[in-house]
Amino acid sequence: MFNLRNIHFFEADMNNPVQIRKYIEDILQNCRLAVLATEAHGQPHASLIAITPIQGFRQIIFATYRKTRKFENILHNGRVAVLIQGEDMESSNQQKGFALTGFGNIQEIGISELEDATHAHLERHPDLVNFLSSGDLALIRIKVEKYQVVRGIDDVTWWSVEDSC
Protein backbone atom coordinates (compact mmCIF):
# COMPACT_ATOMS: atom_id res chain seq x y z
CA MET A 1 0.00 0.00 0.00
CA PHE A 2 1.22 3.48 -0.86
CA ASN A 3 0.47 6.39 1.45
CA LEU A 4 1.40 9.94 0.59
CA ARG A 5 3.46 11.71 3.21
CA ASN A 6 1.83 15.12 3.34
CA ILE A 7 -1.36 14.93 1.28
CA HIS A 8 -3.93 12.17 1.39
CA PHE A 9 -4.80 11.29 -2.15
CA PHE A 10 -8.53 11.74 -2.09
CA GLU A 11 -8.36 14.82 0.10
CA ALA A 12 -6.21 16.69 -2.44
CA ASP A 13 -8.11 19.35 -4.36
CA MET A 14 -7.36 18.65 -8.03
CA ASN A 15 -8.49 22.19 -8.91
CA ASN A 16 -5.74 23.64 -6.73
CA PRO A 17 -2.42 23.81 -8.67
CA VAL A 18 -0.38 23.91 -5.46
CA GLN A 19 -1.99 20.72 -4.16
CA ILE A 20 -1.65 19.00 -7.54
CA ARG A 21 2.05 19.88 -7.65
CA LYS A 22 2.61 18.65 -4.08
CA TYR A 23 0.70 15.47 -4.80
CA ILE A 24 2.79 14.74 -7.91
CA GLU A 25 6.02 15.45 -6.01
CA ASP A 26 4.96 13.10 -3.20
CA ILE A 27 4.18 10.28 -5.62
CA LEU A 28 7.53 10.72 -7.36
CA GLN A 29 9.40 10.78 -4.04
CA ASN A 30 7.66 7.67 -2.72
CA CYS A 31 7.47 5.43 -5.80
CA ARG A 32 10.65 3.80 -7.04
CA LEU A 33 9.39 1.98 -10.12
CA ALA A 34 7.46 2.99 -13.21
CA VAL A 35 6.52 1.70 -16.65
CA LEU A 36 8.17 3.50 -19.56
CA ALA A 37 6.26 3.58 -22.86
CA THR A 38 8.32 4.05 -26.01
CA GLU A 39 7.57 3.68 -29.70
CA ALA A 40 9.49 3.09 -32.93
CA HIS A 41 8.26 2.31 -36.43
CA GLY A 42 4.67 2.10 -35.21
CA GLN A 43 5.44 -0.55 -32.59
CA PRO A 44 4.83 0.41 -28.92
CA HIS A 45 7.02 -1.02 -26.18
CA ALA A 46 6.66 -0.95 -22.38
CA SER A 47 9.50 -1.43 -19.89
CA LEU A 48 9.71 -1.50 -16.11
CA ILE A 49 12.28 1.07 -14.93
CA ALA A 50 13.75 2.26 -11.64
CA ILE A 51 13.15 6.02 -11.42
CA THR A 52 14.71 8.95 -9.63
CA PRO A 53 12.97 12.34 -9.72
CA ILE A 54 15.18 15.37 -10.29
CA GLN A 55 14.15 18.98 -9.70
CA GLY A 56 11.03 17.84 -7.86
CA PHE A 57 8.73 16.89 -10.72
CA ARG A 58 10.40 18.40 -13.80
CA GLN A 59 12.74 15.51 -14.62
CA ILE A 60 12.89 11.79 -14.05
CA ILE A 61 16.05 9.77 -14.61
CA PHE A 62 16.54 6.08 -15.26
CA ALA A 63 19.32 3.81 -16.52
CA THR A 64 19.28 1.34 -19.37
CA TYR A 65 21.66 -0.80 -21.33
CA ARG A 66 22.34 0.56 -24.79
CA LYS A 67 21.64 -2.79 -26.45
CA THR A 68 17.92 -2.88 -25.61
CA ARG A 69 14.74 -2.22 -27.53
CA LYS A 70 14.00 0.57 -25.05
CA PHE A 71 17.23 2.39 -25.94
CA GLU A 72 16.78 1.80 -29.68
CA ASN A 73 13.25 3.18 -29.46
CA ILE A 74 14.27 6.35 -27.64
CA LEU A 75 16.98 6.99 -30.24
CA HIS A 76 14.30 6.73 -32.93
CA ASN A 77 11.57 8.66 -31.10
CA GLY A 78 12.41 10.69 -28.00
CA ARG A 79 8.75 11.20 -27.00
CA VAL A 80 7.81 8.94 -24.08
CA ALA A 81 5.29 8.38 -21.34
CA VAL A 82 6.11 7.08 -17.87
CA LEU A 83 3.35 5.54 -15.72
CA ILE A 84 3.35 5.17 -11.95
CA GLN A 85 0.46 3.20 -10.47
CA GLY A 86 -0.44 2.60 -6.86
CA GLU A 87 -3.02 2.72 -4.11
CA ASP A 88 -3.77 5.16 -1.34
CA MET A 89 -6.01 5.03 1.70
CA GLU A 90 -8.77 7.57 1.81
CA SER A 91 -10.09 8.89 5.11
CA SER A 92 -12.74 6.12 5.26
CA ASN A 93 -9.89 3.54 5.28
CA GLN A 94 -10.77 2.26 1.81
CA GLN A 95 -7.99 1.69 -0.67
CA LYS A 96 -8.31 3.66 -3.89
CA GLY A 97 -6.13 3.22 -6.94
CA PHE A 98 -4.36 5.99 -8.80
CA ALA A 99 -2.17 6.41 -11.85
CA LEU A 100 0.26 9.21 -12.55
CA THR A 101 1.57 9.49 -16.10
CA GLY A 102 4.32 11.89 -17.12
CA PHE A 103 4.72 12.86 -20.79
CA GLY A 104 7.92 14.32 -22.16
CA ASN A 105 11.12 14.07 -24.11
CA ILE A 106 14.15 11.88 -23.56
CA GLN A 107 17.72 13.13 -23.34
CA GLU A 108 20.84 11.13 -22.53
CA ILE A 109 22.65 12.66 -19.58
CA GLY A 110 25.91 14.20 -20.70
CA ILE A 111 29.34 13.60 -19.27
CA SER A 112 29.34 16.88 -17.29
CA GLU A 113 26.25 15.79 -15.29
CA LEU A 114 26.84 12.04 -15.29
CA GLU A 115 28.60 11.73 -11.94
CA ASP A 116 25.96 13.71 -10.01
CA ALA A 117 23.05 11.95 -11.75
CA THR A 118 24.58 8.51 -11.18
CA HIS A 119 25.13 9.34 -7.50
CA ALA A 120 21.50 10.50 -7.10
CA HIS A 121 20.18 7.38 -8.84
CA LEU A 122 22.44 5.09 -6.80
CA GLU A 123 21.43 6.80 -3.55
CA ARG A 124 17.80 6.04 -4.31
CA HIS A 125 18.50 2.55 -5.72
CA PRO A 126 21.57 1.13 -3.91
CA ASP A 127 20.67 -2.34 -5.17
CA LEU A 128 21.62 -1.19 -8.70
CA VAL A 129 25.31 -0.64 -7.92
CA ASN A 130 26.53 -3.34 -10.32
CA PHE A 131 24.09 -2.31 -13.03
CA LEU A 132 25.12 1.36 -12.80
CA SER A 133 28.81 0.49 -13.12
CA SER A 134 28.31 -1.27 -16.47
CA GLY A 135 30.22 0.13 -19.43
CA ASP A 136 27.21 -0.42 -21.72
CA LEU A 137 24.93 1.79 -19.67
CA ALA A 138 23.16 5.01 -20.59
CA LEU A 139 21.68 7.30 -17.97
CA ILE A 140 18.56 8.91 -19.38
CA ARG A 141 16.60 12.02 -18.39
CA ILE A 142 12.90 12.49 -19.12
CA LYS A 143 12.12 16.21 -19.32
CA VAL A 144 8.48 16.07 -18.30
CA GLU A 145 6.11 18.54 -19.98
CA LYS A 146 2.82 17.48 -18.42
CA TYR A 147 1.26 14.98 -16.05
CA GLN A 148 -2.04 13.16 -16.03
CA VAL A 149 -3.42 12.22 -12.60
CA VAL A 150 -6.13 9.55 -12.64
CA ARG A 151 -7.98 8.84 -9.39
CA GLY A 152 -10.99 7.11 -10.90
CA ILE A 153 -12.76 6.53 -14.17
CA ASP A 154 -14.27 10.03 -14.12
CA ASP A 155 -11.56 11.73 -12.05
CA VAL A 156 -8.79 12.76 -14.45
CA THR A 157 -6.63 15.88 -14.07
CA TRP A 158 -4.04 17.23 -16.51
CA TRP A 159 -1.25 19.42 -15.14
CA SER A 160 1.41 21.22 -17.17
CA VAL A 161 4.89 21.62 -15.71
CA GLU A 162 5.02 25.12 -17.24
CA ASP A 163 2.01 26.10 -15.12
CA SER A 164 4.09 25.62 -11.99
CA CYS A 165 6.79 28.15 -12.90
Structural domain contains residue 95:
yes
pLDDT tens, residue by residue, 51-83: 999 988 899 999 999 999 999 999 999 999 999
Residue 84, beta-bridge partner list: 100
Q: Nearest 5 degrees, angle CA 72-CA 70-CA 53?
A: 125
Q: Is 55 helix (H, G, I), strand (E, B) or coil?
A: coil
pLDDT exceeds cutoff 50 at 2: no
Q: How many domains does the chain have?
A: 1
The CATH number of whichever domain residue 17 belongs to comes to: 2.30.110.10
The whole model's pTM is what?
Answer: 0.86
Higher pLDDT, 75 or 2: 75
pLDDT tens, residue by residue, 103-154: 999 999 999 999 999 999 999 999 999 999 888 999 999 999 999 999 888 8
SS (H, E, C) 80-93: EEEEEEEEEECCCC
Which range marks the domain in which residue 124 is found? 9-164
pLDDT exceeds cutoff 70 at 10: no
Structural domain contains residue 147:
yes
Averaged pLDDT, 150-160: 87
Query: How many Cβ atoms sit within 10 Å of the Cβ of residue 11?
Result: 12
| Cα distances (Å, whole numbers) of residue 152 to 3, 95, 100, 156, 165 | 17, 12, 12, 7, 28
Structural domain contains residue 106:
yes
Structural domain contains residue 2:
no
